[in-house]
Amino acid sequence: AGRERFEAVVFVAASPTRTAAGSALGQWVQRTAVIVEPDGRSQAEDVAQALSDAGVSVTEVVWT
pTM of the model: 0.58
pLDDT of residue 40: 79
DSSP 60: E
HEC profile of 5-49 = CCCEEEECCCCHHHHHHHHHHCCCCCCEEEEECHHHHHHHHHHHH
7: closest CA among 26, 21, 24? Answer: 26
Tally Cβ neighbours within 10 Å of residue 10.
24
Per-position pLDDT tens, the chain of length 64: 556 676 666 665 556 666 676 677 666 767 777 778 888 788 888 878 877 887 778 888 888 8
CB 30 within 8 Å of CB 7 = yes
pLDDT of residue 8: 64
